[in-house]
């Protein structure tokens, strides 16, 4: 499996609780915070749900 770099680029203020929970599950709690995750179907599904708040790169 490959790694993906995920960076939060938009705020979660005024977002539905479900999107906030997804961001927390991805490990993102602050603006411009970056995490590296394995590219698994579960992680890709979470990314798809909040892709408008993220910047995604290959690691």
Question: Tokens in use for 43?
Answer: 């992680």
Q: Are 51 and 19 in contact (CB under 8 A)?
A: no
Instruction: Report pLDDT digits (tens) over 23-32.
Output: 999 999 999 9
Residue labelled with tokens 């690691």:
59
Residue 12: what pLDDT? 97
Q: Is the pLDDT of residue 1 over 90?
A: no
The CATH fold assigned to 3-58 is: Ribosomal Protein L30; Chain: A, (3.30.1390)
Q: Give the pTM.
A: 0.92
How many C-alpha atoms does 36 have within 13 Å on its Cβ side? 5
């Amino acid at each position: 499996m490959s790694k993906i770099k995920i960076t939060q680029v938009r705020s979660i203020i005024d977002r539905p609780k479900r999107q906030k929970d997804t961001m927390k599950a991805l490990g993102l709690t602050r603006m411009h915070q970056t995490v590296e995750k394995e590219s698994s179907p579960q992680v890709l599904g979470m990314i798809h749900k909040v892709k408008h708040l993220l910047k995604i790169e290959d690691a």
